[in-house]
Every structure is written in C-alpha cells, then in structure tokens.
Amino acid sequence: MSILINENTRVLVQGITGREGGFHTRQMLDYGTKVVAGVTPGKGGETFEGVPVYNTVADALNRHEIDAAVSFVPARFASDSLMEAASCGIKLLVEITEGIPVHDMVKVKKYLDDMGTILIGPNCPGIITPGECKIGIMPGNIFIPGPVGVISRSGTLTYQVVDELTKAGLGQSTCIGIGGDPIPGIRFTGALRLFSSDPATRVVVLIGEIGGRDEEDAAALAEALGMPVVAFIAGRSAPPGKRMGHAGAIISGSSGTAQAKMEAFQKHGIPVAEFTSDIVQLVKERMAVISNAD
C-alpha cells in the first residue's frame, strides 16, 4: 500500500523541456513513473524522451488522463502554473521550484484549498512510493518498499535518513518531502492523516526543523490518531532571528525552537532522536512494540 501515488499514477510535467525539468523527467521515466505528457508554452507538438509536449495543461488533458502534475517552472511563473493545473481538475500537484514569493503562495494556497487540490511543496524534493512511482527529484536508488512512512521538511536529511533505513532493511511505504517554505501545501498533520489510513504503514518517521509550530501540531495529532511516530528535529544550534536553510526555518521570539518541538513530541509519548543515526534503532523499537501488541 501507499499514499497519494502508486504504480498506476499518470504524471504531467510542467516545464518538461527546461534544464531541470528535462533532467528529472528522464530520472522519473527511468524509475518507471508513468510520465504521460509535458507542458512547455510554445513547444506544443514536440516530444521529449518520447513524451508528447503541449502548450497548455488543458491541451494535454484533451489527449490524456492525468492524475498528478509536477512543476519545474521558474519561480516568477510558478503560481500561474499551479493554478492552471488545479483549474483543469488535477488533484495532486508537486511544486519543486524554490524562491516563489510568499504573497504568490498565499494566493495559490487559498485557490488550491478551494479547489480541493493537494499540493506538495513548494521548494521540496517531491514524493516517492518505492518500486512504483516517484514524482520529483528524490534519488530513487536509495529507497526500498516497506512499512515505514517518511515525512520531512528537509530534502537532504530525507536522503540521509532513508539511506540508513534502507541499509538496516527497513523499507518505506511512501516518502513525502513537504518543503520548508513559510506557506507550504500539505503539512505534517495532513500527511499523518493519510498515513494513518494506510494499513501497510506501521511507523512514521517525521523529520522536522526549527520555525513555526507544525511539528507541535503533528505531535498532538499523532497521539490522537494512535499513529506510531519517531521524530527528529534539525537546527538545534540555530540562533534566534537567523534563517537557517529554508525560508520557514527561523526562530521568532520564543516560538519555533527545537527545544519546544522536542518537548512537544516527548509530552505526547513520541521518541525523539538526538542524531539521525539514532532513528533506525528507534524505528526498530517502535516496530517491536507493535509486533508484540499484535
């Protein structure tokens, strides 16, 4: 089982003929993702790696059934590309692009919410269901199928943790990189709800960072759902008022500190790894508890 995507998911790539879009389209195709169409205005009628290219999303939908779209469009056009895809009825969007203005994302987020569209990102590595489908830029070779769900605000930490899980024989059901921008699409809580409905996901690894209170909300929800979670919080040494990496990774006043997030998880009975290398052991311990309960 998985959440959001599987081997049958049909994908549209916005910006398919650009440098980044082209490179990662090849990677997705090599992984086995069903990339059925691409969009680059002015290049309709061409093909890219055997994938037909259209001028608009509507043109592509006239010829293909599409379940999800991924955008590599430059930041100044990204909001328009997201609303175009949503207006055409595509219900899952993945936005890889970073640097999208916050005021653009405020407008986009409301529009997508009104349309009932799920957005992953922006400024994220995407989503992967190992062995079935990857949408975005994650390195598919480090993933194996299994019972561990992963939700992360950090792309590089995702790869590090997944690599360690895989080497320990702990495969993944689905991995979502939600991104670290101030106005994200799906948040930890939304992803947790989806994982809680997936019978094949036994444990979720949640990789958070400083800034905001999404992790605190996720901690309370995980306990309410009875979802086994292992957490890690990045940015413990970050000074207040200094942005670290992601645009949303900034401590403002007493809010958003790593300590506050760790305390929230511990309050709700969720183990917190001190180092990423501790995550594998904590996952094994959670899996053992579940097995004994069964």
Contact 27, 140 (CB under 8 A): yes
User: Exactly one of 24, 64, 103, 246 is catalytic; which is it?
Assistant: 246
Alpha helices in the chain (DSSP H): 19-31, 57-63, 75-87, 102-115, 155-167, 188-196, 214-225, 258-267, 279-293
Amino acid at 258: A
Contact 126, 13 (CB under 8 A): no
User: Cα 186 vs. chain centroid, distance in angstroms?
Assistant: 8
Active site residue 246: yes
In angstroms, the CA 269 to CA 253 distance is 26
Contact 177, 127 (CB under 8 A): yes
In angstroms, the CA 43 to CA 56 distance is 10
Closest CA to 192 of 171, 174, 180: 174
Please list the active-site residues. Answer: 246
